[in-house]
Structure 1
Amino acid sequence: MNKVESTRDKIITAAYNCFSEKGYLGTSTKEIAKVAGVSEITLFRHFGKKEGIFEAVIRNYSILSELQKISFRIEGASLYDTLKIIAERLYFTLKDRKKFIKIVFSEINRYSDKIREIYKNFIEELDNLIVDILVKYHKKSISKDIDIKIAVKGFIGMVFCYFQTNEIFLCEEVSFEDIDIALSTFVNIFLKALKNM
């Protein structure tokens, strides 16, 4: 890792920690720079504006980077196993980033159009990545009568809603066994829908 990457990574990590504690709106670039151990000018040189830092945090700490790492586990797997791997990675990444996600939820209605656009683009990329994975490895298993992108949104929605209800709204620690049962159920619902089309 060269010095530029190291500085950039330090700023992203500092920003993630600050956003997780105080939110995007409650965190200043000055504070991020201080936590990262760099000058504010260095921060702006790497990311331009605060929105640029937020976008980098989303890219580095989101499910996208996690899903890109799992293709070796998916190759040769059944459609059920592929969906289960995706669901587990999605759920446990959300769980690991719970503090950050909670803050984002509390602020989202006050975000600027630029931040909303960053978030919208992230959702679009996530949908497309999962569609690409399913089409690449399981095209023959997917009915031509189904809109795969809408189906993927529904699948992500089931997993996300389960996380949101238990971890964010109810503040409950869900056992690994209960998570496994829920995710297996969501996968089976999704597979049944694919077969009935």
Structure 2
Amino acid sequence: MITFSEVNQYSEKVRDIYQKLIDQIDELLVKIFSKYKNFNLKIIPKAFRGIIFNLFLTNEILLRKDITKSEINRIFSSYVKIILNSINR
């Protein structure tokens, strides 16, 4: 994960890497959610990404707690269920 301290030290490089990561995540999310017709494909990737990055920001940076792989899988599975349930309504 790109930390806040790296932004100031390598600002342009870090921003480029971060932007590429965001673009890749958004492309993947659009592919996953594109089968839902009544769905704004510009909004959901941003919302989903915001949820994911907030999780890492809160746990790993602010609380200084590592998240295990099993916890990540459980949490992401819950996020996907929440979003898909709201889309299917």
Q: TM-score scaled by structure 2?
A: 0.68
Gaps of at least 5 residues in structure 2 are none
The question of 1:186 aligning with 2:79 is answered: yes
SS in 2 for 1:148: coil
The question of 1:170 aligning with 2:63 is answered: yes
SS in 2 for 1:162: helix
Match of 1:128 in 2: 27
Q: 2:59–2:65: 8 Å Cα contact kept in structure 1?
A: yes
Q: TM-score scaled by structure 1?
A: 0.37
Match of 1:195 in 2: 88
Match of 1:155 in 2: 48
- Greater helix fraction, Structure 1 or Structure 2: 1
Q: Percent identity?
A: 38
Pair 122,173 (structure 1): closer, same or farther in 2 beyond 3 Å = closer
Match of 1:119 in 2: 18
- Number of residue equivalences: 88
CA distance in 1, matches of 2:25, 2:59: 22
CA distance in 2, matches of 1:158, 1:126: 13
Larger radius of gyration: 1
Q: 1:131–1:148: 8 Å Cα contact kept in structure 2?
A: yes
Gaps of at least 5 residues in structure 1 are 1-97
Matched letter for residue 185 of structure 1 = S
